[in-house]
Amino acid sequence: MGARTRALAVEALGYDKGTPSPVSLDDRAFREFIAWLEDTKIRALPLGARAGLRDLDAPSPAWRAAFSALATAVGCDLGPTDSHAARVFDLLLEQAVALEYRDHAADLNAVVKDLKAAASGGAAGGGIPPAAKRQRVAPPQPEGRRLMDG
C-alpha cells in the first residue's frame, strides 16, 4: 500500500493525529496508532491482552511481543520485525477499514445511492439528462475493390 493510500485509510478511520511515518516498531507515533487502532476499530485481542500495546514506552522486545500477538490474532503470520512492520500495518489498516465499512454499510450505501440519484437527475427526473453515448462505427470500405483469385 502506498503512502497516499495509507494516509487516506487513516483519515477515513477518523484518526486525527495523522499517519505514522515512517512505519517503525520502535516509533512512539506508530505504537500509539496501533494501540488506538486495536482499541477502537479492530478489537481482536481481549481487553486485558491489550495492555502491552498500550504501554508505549515499553522496551522494544515487550512491545514487539504485544504487536506479534495482535498480528497473530488478525491472521497475519509475519513476525514482529521492522522489515515486516509495513506489511502488518497495511493488513491492520485494511482490516480496520473493512470492519468500519461493515459497521456502517447501510449509511454508506444510502449516501452512494443519493449521489447516484443526484447525478442522474434524481427521482423526479428534473435534472440534466446524461449525454448521449456515441456509437462507434467502422470506417466505410471502398467499393469496387475485390480480391481476385490469381
Query: How many domains, in total, are found in the chain?
Result: 1
Amino acid at site 59? P
Packed helices 3-13 and 82-103: angle between N→C axes, nearest 10 degrees: 40
Residue 144 lies in a domain: no
Question: What are the phi and psi torsion angles at 56 (to 5°)?
Answer: -65, -20
Cell of 28: 512512539
Residue 22 lies in a domain: yes
> What distance, in Å, lies between the first and last C-alpha atoms of the chain?
62
Residue 114 lies in a domain: no
pTM over 0.95? The answer is no
The pLDDT tens digits along the chain (150 residues) read 888 899 999 998 999 998 887 788 889 999 999 999 999 999 999 999 999 999 999 999 999 999 999 999 998 876 667 778 888 999 999 999 999 988 888 887 887 888 888 888 765 444 444 555 555 555 555 555 555 554
Residue 74 lies in a domain: yes
Residue 95, domain extent: 3-106
Cell of 126: 428534473
Contact between residue 63 and residue 70 where contact means Cβ atoms under 8 Å apart? no
